[in-house]
């Protein structure tokens, strides 16, 4: 609130102390007459107009300035000028403190909701510069403007986050009963509504994970190459080392690498990526798979690669696919 000559707050204090010059008083009166009180009016305020708000502040200040038992001041106009100057200080301070609330009235934030179909990945940039890689069959919602103390997003499914650092505004992901809080880091959240297990894996930085609405004393703090596993059934939250956390850097774009993972784990990933169930013949679920799959390709092509490595064949069923060993001598 400055121009090239005067500072409003300084002039307001000089007026209250009786040290303001005539030229300064003229300037301050003109500034106050043009002050946009609408900036500090909230929708929930009991004052319906700027004039009501201004008059209320002036009356309260004037009442406090008048000392009981003493004759009333002769120069009431001076007191009103002093009160007006003090009101300016309060209004400017009020506008600064409640800037976000005022903006929500003038230009309210809108909630954005994005959903990915099975087999489709999507990269998102948030208003603060944070980048998100949303996995197939997932949903995320967030405000188009971050104005609250927390940068809150809601996730159903799986996403990789690369969060822009902001010490004063923690980034919070609410995924079902799980709450993940960060300042700036890279991590993966896997929390599908139909799955009993939710996971948060840290690739860089530090992340706090807790059950939603529980105190901070119940949270788990993780750093690089650690993972928090939450079980919805018994509400347990455990932390473990996860040396292969960097795999999520490629998985966020649909590229999966396996170094002896069970066939059951591989087909579980196929289910989440394509939304297609793969049933396994008896006795093959624990066979280890070494190789790569690209879930951006058609599911038939992915199954062909998987079966070629594992000596299997697939057939299509009404509710998905069925994998079984190749016949003898084939």
- pLDDT given at position 74: 44
**Amino acid 217: pLDDT:** 59
SS (H, E, C) 202-221: EEECCEEEEECCCCHHHCEE
Cα separation, 158 vs 155, whole angstroms: 7
Can you give the pLDDT at residue 26? 78
Give the number of other CB atoms < 10 A from CB of residue 38. 12
Cα 329 to Cα 283, 287, 325, 326: the distances in Å are 19, 20, 11, 8
Angle between helices 76-97 and 22-33 (to 10 degrees): 50
First-to-final CA distance of the chain = 84
Q: How far apart are CA 67 and CA 65, in angstroms?
A: 6
Q: Is residue 300 pLDDT above 90, yes or no?
A: yes
**Per-residue pLDDT band at 39 (split at 50, 70, 90):** very low
Higher-confidence position of 291 and 43: 291
pLDDT digits (tens, 9 = 90+) for 83-98: 666 666 555 555 555 5
Nearest partner of 258 among 305, 296, 204, judged by Cα: 305
> What letter would DSSP give residue 50?
H
Question: Tens of pLDDT along 16-25?
Answer: 677 888 888 7
Task: Give the domains, in start order, of the chain with CATH numbers.
Answer: 8-106 (no CATH), 111-247 (2.60.120.1440), 254-325 (3.55.50.30)
Q: Considering the entire predicted model, what is its pTM?
A: 0.66
| pLDDT tens per residue across span 144-156 | 888 888 899 999 9
Residue of higher predicted confidence among 17 and 122: 122
Q: How many CA atoms lie within 13 A of 230 on its CB side?
A: 26
How far, in Å, CA of 119 to CA of 161, rounded? 19
H or E element, residue 151: strand 151-162
How far are the Cα atoms of 58, 66, 76, 115, 191 from residue 83, in angstroms, in the given order?
5, 11, 10, 55, 57
């Amino acid at each position: 609130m400055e121009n090239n000559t005067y500072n409003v707050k300084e002039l307001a204090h000089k007026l209250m102390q009786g040290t303001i010059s005539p030229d300064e008083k003229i300037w301050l009166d003109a500034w106050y007459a043009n002050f946009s009180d609408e900036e500090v009016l909230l929708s929930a305020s009991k004052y319906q107009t700027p004039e009501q708000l201004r008059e209320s502040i002036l009356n309260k200040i004037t009442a406090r300035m008048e000392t009981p038992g003493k004759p009333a001041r002769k120069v009431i106009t001076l007191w009103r000028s002093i009160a007006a100057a003090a009101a300016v200080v309060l209004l400017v301070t009020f506008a600064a403190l409640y800037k976000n609330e005022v903006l929500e009235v003038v230009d309210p934030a809108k909630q954005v909701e994005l959903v990915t179909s099975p087999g489709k990945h999507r990269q998102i940039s948030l208003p603060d510069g944070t980048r998100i890689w949303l996995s197939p069959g997932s949903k995320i919602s967030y405000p188009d403007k971050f104005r609250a103390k927390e940068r809150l997003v809601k996730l159903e499914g799986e996403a990789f986050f690369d969060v822009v650092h902001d010490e004063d505004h923690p980034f919070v992901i609410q995924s079902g009963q799980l709450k993940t809080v960060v300042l700036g880091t890279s991590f993966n959240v896997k929390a599908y509504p139909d799955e009993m297990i939710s996971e948060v894996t840290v690739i860089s930085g530090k992340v706090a994970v807790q059950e939603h609405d529980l105190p901070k004393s119940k949270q788990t703090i993780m750093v690089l190459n650690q993972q928090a596993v939450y079980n919805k059934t018994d509400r347990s939250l455990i932390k473990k080392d996860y040396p292969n956390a960097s795999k999520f850097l490629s998985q966020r774009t649909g590229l999966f690498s396996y170094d002896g993972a069970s066939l059951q784990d591989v087909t579980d990933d196929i289910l989440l990526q394509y939304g297609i169930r793969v049933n396994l013949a008896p006795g093959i679920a624990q066979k280890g798979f070494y190789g790569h799959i690209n879930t951006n390709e058609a599911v038939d092509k992915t199954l062909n690669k998987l079966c070629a490595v594992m000596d299997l064949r697939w057939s299509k069923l009404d509710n998905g696919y069925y994998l079984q060993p190749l016949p003898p001598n084939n």
